[in-house]
Amino acid sequence: MKFTARQIAEILKGTIEGNENAEVHTVSKIEGGEPGGISFLANPKYTQYIYTTEASIVIVNEDFEATAPIKATLIRVASAENAFAKLLEMYSQIKLAKPGISDQSYVAESASLGENAYVGEFAVIAENAKIGNNVRIYPQAYVGENVVIGDNTTLFAGVKIYSDCQVGKDCIIHSGTVIGSDGFRFALQDGGKKIPQIGNVILGDNVELGSNCSIDRATLGSTILGNGVKLDNLVHIAHNVEIKENSYLAAHNVVAGSTVIGKNCMFSGQVGVIDHLEIADNTILAAQSGVSKSIRKPGSIQMGSPSMDVMKYRKNYIHFRNLESLVARVSELEKKLKELNSSTQT
């Protein structure tokens, strides 16, 4: 799909400098660009590229002042970064828009689909599933029995949602993610017999899960991810965990069973949290933190394994780095003390 500079300026409420009929059909980086592409300039570090870019249209701030001729058509706006983000969102919606129900998919007779739903090849929608309006289900996805999916949610290829789980509105679930697999519970005193997992998973609205995440169903009740929760790729959330609104977990996070994570928390990569803990609102955990105790003070920042207050960790880290020399000094002192004791005894 092509757009002219005039059409884009109308969308962004910007002003045009150059050819208002210049057409674009793709987005591109300003460093190189390509004919038919649109880019933006917001960071002054990249100003040099606006004079050499091959992009047909460049979005700039209203106060941008050129110091040399520019081949591209400019669109001046209040914030080039925000305007370009708006365009990217529109571009993504157009690119991902898919029509209709594929003849090569399976939709159970008892399932219900809302308006403008898309179901791709080899996707399966099982009995009594309820799919909202404008939902996109890409090829080879599986939606189990009694699953509920809210409006405007996207399941990318290969997503698996087990029976009885609920997904809210405006969610994005990336390829390979499994929602509702069994929690890891076994009766060790009974020879490791598996404990049935009969709960479900509930995702709130505006949740995004990266690729290859695993969200285990609860033993009883629900594993819950609140509104606005975002998980990076390769995150594991165990049975009966609750993550409250607008918390962000980066790649390779593991949260063990029945832990409750508060609102607006931010966990960096490879964080591990053991079971049955409480993590207060606004907690920040640095990469590779290992949390073994509840964090009850809102706004805490911790790092290390086991994790501790960030300032305490940094002070201790000075000693960690000097540990080898400290051991050598202690050994030397012990040697001298032994020699001193020997001389006094003789």
Any catalytic annotation for residue 252? Answer: no
Neighbour-count burial of 315, counting CB atoms closer than 10 A to its CB (0-12 exposed, 13-18 middle, 19+ buried)? exposed
Q: Which one of the listed residues 25, 174, 236, 239 is annotated catalytic?
A: 239
Model pLDDT, residue 346: 62
Tokens of 59: 């979005």
Say what the pTM is: 0.83
Model pLDDT, residue 97: 77
DSSP annotation of 67: S
Phi, psi values for residue 301, rounded to 5°: -125, 120
How many angstroms from the chain centroid is the CA of residue 64?
Answer: 34
Regions of the chain where pLDDT drops below 50: none
Count, residues in the chain? 346
Mapped onto helix, strand or coil, the DSSP state of residue 223 is strand
Give which of 125, 123, 227, 213 is closest to 173, Cα–Cα: 213
